[in-house]
Structure 1
Amino acid sequence: MLKELKFNIIGKTESNDSCNFWWVVQNSNSFEAEIAGRYIWAPKRTKTGRNIHHWSNVGQVKEGDVIFHYHSKKSVQSIVGISIAKADSNTAQRPEGLLESWHKEGWKADLDYYELESPLPKSEINDRIVALDISKGPLTSNGRVNQGYLFGINHAAAQIIAEKINLNSIPQQIMDKIHSNPAPSLNRWLFQFNSKYFDRRAFNELEEISWTIKRKKEREALKQGDLIYIWEYGTNGGIIAIGEAADLPAFRKENPNNEKYNVDKDKFAGEEWRVMVAIKRVLSEPIRRQTCKDHPQLSSLHVLRQPRATNYPVTQEEHQAIQSLLEGIDVMPDTPSEPYTMDDALKHLFMERKLLEDIKDSLSVKKNVILQGPPGVGKTFLARRLAYLLIGAKKRANVEMVQFHQSYAYEDFVQGLRPDPESEQARFKLSNGIFYE
């Protein structure tokens, strides 16, 4: 439940524009004054002139940002309130009531603040927030609160916190921002494998393959739906397939379907940071390593300069060059489809037959079903098998995944006017979306 402190939500807070999410740590030196004054404030520098990132974050707050207020009261560490920034932060002198030992010039953000009648103990969200591994976030790897003031958190963390609060009592403006799905800016990647350790036949026989993501930098940048070029290691290697990230990286064991293709069983044993890669296209003829080395836009590919890594980012220019090379390459033909039955699906799904039958029957009547759960639990895996059950055959070409977001319009999904890339003038043409096709 929320107790409104008698001030209004104004400005852009009524829009669904993307916003930042923050976690502010307010101790006894600042909590009362800041809540009463409806603001957050931090010095621009220490008295020795040093900038501190968690203070500088206040200068990054913009109108409409959502802030979760953390405070320790009577030894109970809790989220005690939620606020929205009324305007972009600005330079301001130290308000009255704050420690005079702080530098006078600082950053200030004015807020609309809502106090939780029932504070949310940190213990209820601790493990899930830690698992997100947020860079420069509010929690350490062992779950303690970092020393500091204002920390950025991601959308997933905001939704985890919101799950534990009575959403019916939160102002609609905050709910819209927390539960919005801003259009993601998708990335392109090149993932490398070595046939010495992993059998390349897997790309023709599996729909999804789990892939290790070793470095934290790549884990944070990888988004669901990102395009992934599959690269085979070796002097005669190159791009052999194309896939996309089917979920977000999660700390988990190897996908059981991968195991029979693991040449070196020990290399892939145990829990690792992994992402599921949906195989979308297997090339009849690879784009060879030498072809890339000789290409003016591809000769600087990271995989050519640092061939021992696993996950590499691909630039827009490199992506366009690869796409131009792909135009003359056919897709490997589908193998003849076989009938797909309920028994076939249950071999790979950890659920009771009746539950699967109920979901299938519901789809036949209502034409939709919502699968909910954290990354890595098998939502996409189940969805594909439901699709096979409905068409009665395991045919990958007949199943297409679509990621909906705020900017995904009718014209993208069904049909509409789009710019004509072949026209020398600024013209539009009627184009079919994925549903129409």
Structure 2
Amino acid sequence: MEKTNMENRPVDMYCLTSNKHFHPTLTVHNILGNISHEMIAPAKAVTGVYRGHSTTSVYNSRILLQIGDRIVTVETHAGYAFTYGSKREKTALTLAAKKGKEVTLSINENDTAVTLSIKGGISITQPVNNIDYGSLVKKTVKNETLYGKPVTNKILEGELIAVDYHGPLLMKDDGEVVQYKSPLNNPEMANAKLLVGNHVRVALNDQQELTIQSLDAHLERSVDKKPEMKHAPAIKTTHIIRLTHREDLNGYTSVEGRDYQKPIFHQGASKVAGQLIEANPNYGTFTLEHPVYGRVGVSVGKRLFQGDPESCEALFKACEEKKPVAISLDKTGTSLTVAIKDGPTLVNKMQSPAIPFGLVDAKQVSAEKTYRGKLNAVHAEHSVELQTDKGPLIVYGRGGASAEVTLKKMMGKQVEVSAGKDNALVVKTLEREKGLAR
């Protein structure tokens, strides 16, 4: 695939980003001798008539808009963009496509959430799972490999302007943006993002691992090297698989912890298999030896097999024998299955879906802070999930001021969450509706 420039050509696809370092690029496709051109431009927001989803993206992350007499594609970077949600949202999008309503697609300042706003109607916000700037990059640098291992060590220097899962993106002194093609795992991406805005050198170390070394005199950090510190603990990543039924979080990853704190890599999945090392039903957690990731934790966010001593005994026996198991959630997130090889299949029913702690930012209510957003989920009377301008947010308290059934009546509505007596969770709707207090 070749990329070049051409003036006065209309845009075929917009790539949502708030990053100001990117510029329009013309991509030339050559498929079996058939030449086609695609002008791709960065944009923080795009407005046009909503025409549904593009069928060319693997994860349905692209939206079609009509601007004037042309149909353009908008890359949102959000997997299955706006295809899930409340009945109200789905109805609004269906009507928008049917009636040809004007919508605006926009991305927030740090490229972590996209919003679709229907003119005269509702706005829907969805998190960005994996940002991909590749379509806006004119040049890439990649090490040649032999039998899957790098045999060259190309070095690239410039200002680190962004990081995506394909590798770091640098702006050279002549203004050219180049991507160093070397996939980063999520802990590496989190560390690399600490250096954005600095002049860096990117290369492979002696272990053939990607290093991003700051060349700024005042900053001496890199992806694989930390400042010297007496008795500094070795940094190892704790990998936790958060079981979730939600399509927007299935495959989603996040990282918490950096510098000398042990990083935790959270990964969303609806099922996982491996050798069972440890089980803690009271905490809803397991430890597996995974064939790819090695030692991983598995969490459901709920107590499991309460009042079921036979299932607990079967789990503990499987741990002693280090039996292979497959752990999965159903499509509702309320039924957990643990299938033990050459043993029983255990099923745990839950009154509400598994809680995606780790995948979604969580805050405890306090007298100093209130939170506003659309009520997306009710995990318990003391724990709810909001869709805010910055993305999904779990808010919890020490107990709840309202019953779970009362909170569920506010699902899909704009609400305010605050602290009540003894920091209990208080949820109030911001929409006027009969039967609900404002």
Identify the structure with the greater strand proportion: 2
- TM-score, scaled to structure 1: 0.25
Identify the structure with the greater helix proportion: 1
Higher-RCO chain (CA-CA 8 Å, sequence separation at least 6): 1
- If you compute each CA radius of gyration, which structure gives the higher value, 1 or 2? 1
